[in-house]
Structure 1
Amino acid sequence: MTLDDWLDLAALILILVGALLCLTAAIGLLRFRDVPSRLHAATKPQVLGVILICLAVALSLRSWPVVAFLVPIVLIQLATAPLSAHVVGRQAYRNGTIDETGLFVDDLAESRRTPPASGG
C-alpha cells in the first residue's frame, strides 16, 4: 500500500468515527431526560465528531486551502458549543427545570436567594 492509500484509509476511519460520535450526540439529545445530560450530549461528542470529520476531509483532499477553510470551522465549534451550553444551562436553572437535588455543587444558589435590585 502506498502513502496515499494509508491516508485514505485513515480519512475513512476518521469519517466513520466522527459520524458515529455525531449520531450518539443526536441520540443522547433525544433520549436523556434532564438538561445537564442533554447539554453534555449536545456539546462534547458533537464537537469531537465535527473535528474528526474536518480532519478526515483535510486528509482526504490534501490541500492547504482546504485546511485553511476547515480551521475556522473547528475554532468556531470550539468557541460556540460550550458558550451556548452554558447559556442554555443557566436559563434552565433560572426557569427551575433542573433537578437541584442532583447537583453536587450549586454555585448559583446564592444569586437565586438575593432579590434583584430595584430600578428606581
Structure 2
Amino acid sequence: MTIDAWLDLSALILILAGAILCLTAAIGLLRFRDVLTRLHAATKPQVLGLILICIAIALSLRSWPVVAFLLPIVLIQLATAPLSAHMVGRQAYRNGTIDEPNLIVDELADSRRTPPAAGG
C-alpha cells in the first residue's frame, strides 16, 4: 500500500469516528433529561468529533491552504463551546431548572443566598 492509500484510509477512519461522536452528542441532547447532562453531551463529544473530521479533511486534501482554513474553525469551536455551555449552565442554576439533589458539590450555594446587588 502506498502512503496515499494509508492517508485516505486514516481519513476515512477519522471521518467515521467524528461522525459517530457527533451522532452520540445529538442522541445525548435528545435522551438526557436535565440541563447539565445535556450540556455535557452537547460539548464534549461534539467538539472532539469536529476536530476529528477537520483532521480527516486535512489528511484527505493534503493542502496547506486547507489546513490554514480549518485551524481557525477548530480554535473558534474550542473557545466558544465551553463558554456557551458555562453560560447556559449558570443561567439554568440561577433559574432553578437543574436537578439539585444530584449535585455532588454546589460551589454556588453561597451566591444563591446573597442577592447579587447586596454587596456581600
What TM-score, normalized to structure 1? Answer: 0.96
Q: Which amino acid aligns with 2:112?
A: R
User: For residue 109 of structure 1, what is the aligned residue in structure 2?
Assistant: 109
Q: Which amino acid aligns with 1:71?
A: L
Q: Deviation per CA, 1:34-56, whole angstroms, max 9, x where unpaired? A: 11110000000000000000000
User: For residue 27 of structure 2, what is the aligned residue in structure 1?
Assistant: 27
Offset, 1:15: 0.2
Distance 2:84 2:102 in 1: 22
- Structure 2: which 5+ runs fail to align? none
Is residue 17 of structure 1 aligned with residue 28 of structure 2? no
Is residue 40 of structure 1 aligned with residue 37 of structure 2? no
User: For residue 86 of structure 1, what is the aligned residue in structure 2?
Assistant: 86
- Structure 1: which 5+ runs fail to align? none
Q: Percent identity?
A: 85
Distance 2:44 2:115 in 1: 35
Distance 1:93 1:39 in 2: 13
Aligned residue pairs total 118
Offset, 1:57: 0.1
Offset, 1:101: 1.0
Distance 2:116 2:78 in 1: 33
Offset, 1:99: 1.1
User: For residue 97 of structure 2, what is the aligned residue in structure 1?
Assistant: 97
- Runs (4+) of structure 1 exceeding 3 A deviation are none
